[in-house]
Amino acid sequence: MQMEYQQQMTKIKEGTIVSPLGFTAAGIHTKVKRKRKDLGLIFCDVPAETAAVYTLNQIIAAPLTVTKESIASEGKIQAVVINSGNANACTGSQGMLDAYTMRDTVAKQFSIKNNYVAVASTGIIGENMPMDKITPGISQLLPKKNDEAALSFNESILTTDTIMKSTCYEVEINGVKVKMAGSAKGSGMIAPNMATMLGFITTDANISNECLQTALKEVTDETFNRITVDGDTSTNDMVLVMASGMAGNDSLTPEHSEWETFHRLLKQVCEDLAVMIARDGEGATKLIEVLVTGAHTNEEAGIVAKSVVGSDLVKTMVFGSDPNWGRVMMAVGKSGVKIDPNKIDIALGDHTLLFQSEPTNYAESELTKYLNNEKVIININLNIGFGAGKAWGCDLTYDYVRINASYRT
């Protein structure tokens, strides 16, 4: 079944957020940031069925409140406006007014309903929005369906990111081609609680917002909720998916014969973006992937994997190329999942360090050499069940402190 699915799905190397039918994008520089583009837009030719997941932080930025309100109205969004450089978080009643102003200005600009506009912001917390730059900037947003427009959008949502993050796939459903693409930003303030970043996904699949919400929630738990950079959950985190329906497939529901194909398509796009975020952690030099097998359930395997990849001591172990597997064992034990301490296997890549909780004979020089790779895989077998799960993160470096010590200056 898995092999059959992989043969059906095709990665579009040159694909972008505007590849699915009906979508255009734009990104410009309004001088909120000194140099890089800082205001972006995704536009759909029709009101798109929309689903979203949000931060679990109790402090929620004004744009998220406005976006929730918009989606709750009809379950459809036609335009998403995003600014970087200012988070519009912890800005009180003025922040709410500014978020509504962004929404209403976009609605007027494109002659659509106010509730068909979503708003997102990212950047410095606690400073009022520079609306003298944002409002006139919105009038300059001219969305187009080309690579340049997509790249401009990708740049406009970045903060401390060092790379733009995007992905695109195509799959056949009901005999028609369905495309799905995603763009995301995220580098710091990343923790395994939804949503851990800003992510925007477009698809031309025909699906209701209710079914799309079901799929997104399930997929989020296995992708965006499995990454961590620094254990901090932002006030502005959101992942939003828009479906134009223009591919013309039969409406997708969990009862549809190809629901699993769509579900796996969404999971692949989300996993691609999640891994890119983990790899681009502030100051990171290495991607860490933790694979846990032999747990009682898949959920418990995921909890253990997140505990390991989120451990600062494991992160520094990887940064220093020091095969101190005791730190991995510690992180397994503190996960809260019931385990058998006498049955655990641990390996770094193909190098087994622990078998049935007994140290093996290994060459430390070989392990150090392995830990010098840009991607480090930690394999853990709990040997108590059949559950499996993954999590992703990055090493913790001196540069992380340098970047965050001077974030505002």
Q: List the single range of 40-54, 153-167, 201-215, 371-385 with lowest mean pLDDT.
A: 153-167
The Cα 200–Cα 185 span in angstroms is 9
If you average pLDDT over every residue of the chain, what do you get? 90
SS3 198: strand
What's the confidence (pLDDT) of residue 233?
A: 57
Task: Check residue 3 and give its pLDDT.
Answer: 40
Write down the pTM of the prediction: 0.82
Flag whether pLDDT at 232 surpasses 60.
no
Name every residue whose Cβ is closer than 8 Å to that of residue 121 and which is 6 or more positions away in sequence.
61, 62, 63, 82, 83, 84, 86, 87, 88, 89, 99, 129, 236
Structure tokens at 280: 């681009």
Quick one: tokens of 141?
Answer: 């947003």
Domains plus CATH for the chain? 2-279 (3.60.70.12), 287-405 (3.10.20.340)
pLDDT value, residue 191: 46
Higher-confidence position of 262 and 230: 262
pLDDT digits (tens, 9 = 90+) for 212-223: 999 999 999 888
**The predicted structure's pLDDT at residue 283:** 62
pLDDT in tens, 96-109: 999 999 999 999 99
Among the residues of 157-297, which ranges form H helices?
209-222, 259-279
Per-residue pLDDT tens digits for 270-313: 999 988 888 776 667 889 999 999 999 999 999 999 999 989 89
Could you list the active site residues?
A: 196
What pLDDT score does 68 carry?
96
Range with the poorest average pLDDT among 1-10, 13-22, 52-61, 148-157: 1-10
End-to-end alpha-carbon separation of the chain, Å?
Answer: 52
The pLDDT value given to residue 282 = 63
pLDDT at 188: 47
User: Has residue 7 got a pLDDT over 70?
Assistant: no
CA dist., res. 26 & res. 142, Å (int): 6
